[in-house]
């Protein structure tokens, strides 16, 4: 099985002001003359990790990565003003133009797959290829699946769900996202942090195929917990700033773009049906279902993702 490429450091970092509020942190890695690719992280609000650089052959790719508005090293931290899907799509295009890149590959998983699809459907002429993992289309059923009492994830991870549920009083549980949002938007820092940590425990520990109910997840850092929980609740309560089925209806705009869809069969955060629906609407795309959960670091998912980026490099580089 293919593995991640070796660890690398950026050869250049940037801070790019995209409006009067937001300044983005951007990295460039790999070969400055290589095939350009934009990496779109998950969340929203999760920010970059060093392993994100490693899905691409550094000898053949010019790897561009950035922290989305309010996430990671972008400033202001956890800022939600002017922070919508449309703003992030515009940011990707601003980055492309800033670097003088004519066309590039878009790579994204989970929320990053949503953003990659939205970007490609808005600017199809700028996209050479798509590599998508853990598909999230932002539809109402998907939003309720993981975070609400009438969803399905609580039946899979009941031990972990209990802690997420018990943070909210019984009388507010009919709309968990709104209940969490009231706390995440509180003026009291302690209230915000406690809600963010409860949110992060539920999501962050639910990514792997082999599940440990006591695993704290990957949002233990208070700053990360707050940016992820606030951004996700903000986007979820606004239905991802997309119309229902918008990304499925927009497939005709990207049908001719080479694309690989990779889905873990037992992904509980972004269940299989979304990837299946996308693949049915887009039979021209290559669709891989692997024995895995949600995590991009799962060996079965890494194998297909690296194979997909290698194939695009063979095609274009």
Distance between CA atoms of residues 263 and 292, nearest Å: 8
Is 294 a residue of the active site? yes
CA 146 vs CA 141, 243, 302: distances in Å: 9, 19, 24
Distance between CA atoms of residues 172 and 151, nearest Å: 16
**40: Cβ–Cβ under 8 A, 6 or more apart, which residues?**
68, 92, 106, 107, 108, 111, 112, 113, 115, 116, 119
Is 110 a residue of the active site? yes
206: helix, coil or strand?
A: coil
The angle formed by the CA atoms of residues 114, 120 and 125, to the nearest 5 degrees, is 175
Distance between CA atoms of residues 32 and 63, nearest Å: 8
Candidate list 41, 167, 234, 294, residue with the active-site label: 294
Candidate list 57, 267, 298, 310, residue with the active-site label: 267
Q: Are 225 and 193 in contact (CB under 8 A)?
A: yes
Distance between CA atoms of residues 90 and 51, nearest Å: 25
Is 267 a residue of the active site? yes
Task: State both tokens at 242.
Answer: 């997309």
The residue behind tokens 């049908």 is 255
Candidate list 67, 74, 110, 234, residue with the active-site label: 110
Please report, in angstroms and rounded to a whole number, the separation of the first and last CA atoms in the chain. 23
The 10 Å Cβ neighbour count of residue 214 is 8
Q: Is 170 exposed, middle or buried (0-12, 13-18, 19+ CB in 10 A)?
A: exposed
Residues marked active site are found at 110, 267, 294
């Amino acid at each position: 099985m293919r593995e991640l490429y070796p660890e690398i450091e950026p050869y250049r970092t940037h801070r790019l002001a995209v409006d009067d509020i937001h300044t983005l942190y951007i990295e460039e890695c790999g070969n400055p003359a290589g095939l350009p690719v934009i990496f779109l992280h998950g969340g929203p609000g999760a920010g970059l990790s060093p392993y994100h650089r490693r899905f691409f052959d550094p000898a053949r790719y010019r790897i561009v990565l950035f922290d989305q508005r309010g996430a990671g090293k972008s400033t202001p931290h956890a800022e939600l003003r002017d922070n919508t899907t449309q703003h992030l799509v515009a940011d990707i295009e601003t980055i492309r133009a800033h670097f003088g890149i004519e066309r590039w590959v878009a790579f994204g998983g989970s929320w990053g797959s949503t953003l990659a699809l939205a970007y490609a459907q808005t600017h199809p002429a700028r996209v050479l290829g798509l590599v998508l993992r853990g598909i999230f289309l932002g539809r109402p059923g998907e939003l309720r699946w993981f975070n609400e009492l009438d969803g399905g994830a609580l039946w899979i991870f009941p031990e972990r769900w209990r802690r997420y549920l018990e943070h909210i009083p019984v009388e507010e549980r009919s709309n968990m996202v709104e209940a969490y949002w009231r706390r995440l938007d509180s003026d009291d820092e302690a209230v915000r942090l406690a809600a963010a940590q409860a949110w992060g425990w539920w999501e962050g520990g639910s990514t792997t195929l082999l599940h440990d109910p006591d695993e704290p997840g990957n949002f233990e850092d208070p700053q990360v917990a707050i940016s992820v929980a606030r951004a996700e609740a903000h986007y979820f309560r606004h239905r991802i700033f997309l119309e229902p089925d918008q990304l499925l209806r927009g497939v005709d705009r990207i049908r001719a773009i080479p694309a690989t869809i990779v889905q873990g069969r037992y992904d509980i955060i972004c269940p299989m049906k979304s990837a299946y629906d996308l693949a049915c609407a887009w039979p021209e795309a290559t669709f891989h279902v692997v024995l895995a959960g949600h995590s991009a670091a799962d060996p079965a998912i890494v194998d297909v993702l690296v194979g997909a980026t290698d194939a695009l490099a063979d095609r274009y580089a």
